[in-house]
Copies of this chain bind each other. A is one copy, B any other.
Amino acid sequence: MSAHRKRIKLEDILALERFTRANLINSFTGFKSANLVGTVNEAGETNLALFSSAVHLGANPPFVGLIQRPVSVPRHTYNNILDTGYFTLNHVHKDWIKAAHQTSAKFEETESEFETCGFTPEYSNLHPAPYVKESLVRAGLEFIEAVPIRVNKTILIVGRIIEIEVPEEILSKDGFLDLEAAGTATISGLDSYHETQQLGRFQYARPGEEVEEIL
């Protein structure tokens, strides 16, 4: 890879064709998490939507954020979260990325992405939001607050984890989850799916000390 870089200034970015700009900016931030968000409305109709914006907000207590695009058009996931107070996060497995991607199509509210895209809803006794049976790593979350991001009318949805379900084989003694062993996919841009290969884990870094690998 050459060290020569092309420079794209803000004015050039703003002048790009809409989908080219969306691909470029969505690619820029780096690799992203791949989660199906499961919700239900008050009529009991389930919804499933792909989000690549799940972000860690804190561990004690456990909070996760999701970026919601402006609600200028109906947003089934967001409405369901506000109406029922709960949602699930379900890791996308590398073997069914195509079906997961299909959930991003604009279906009618009465049409469930579970059925249309071939996923099976599964329920917990702790909350009403549907899990994806096919997903190995998943959590149920209670809606806490919707934080408005004024500059572009996006919203940070804040949820508190009320339960996590993971295969025992991927849970290390120190709490680390081996997501690679679980087959969790990662996304780049709007539409590119990747599997991973671990390079290494490193111990907590301290000034003046060489970083040691965790073996």
Contact = CB atoms under 8 A, between A and B. Distances in A.
Nearest to A163: B9
A6 B188 contact: no
Interface residues of A, number: 125
A191 B197 contact: no
B139 A28 contact: yes
A43 interface: no
Given A10-B163, A163-B7, A1 B195 contact: no
Contact of A186 (B2, B13, B137, B186): B186
Contacts of A204: 191
CB-based closest 6 A-B pairs: A30-B33, A23-B175, A20-B175, A27-B177, A31-B186, A105-B205
Interface of A: 1-10, 13-14, 16, 18-35, 52-65, 67, 69, 89, 91, 94, 97-98, 101-108, 111, 116, 126, 136-139, 144-145, 147-152, 154, 156, 158, 160-172, 174-177, 179-186, 188-189, 191-207, 209, 211, 214
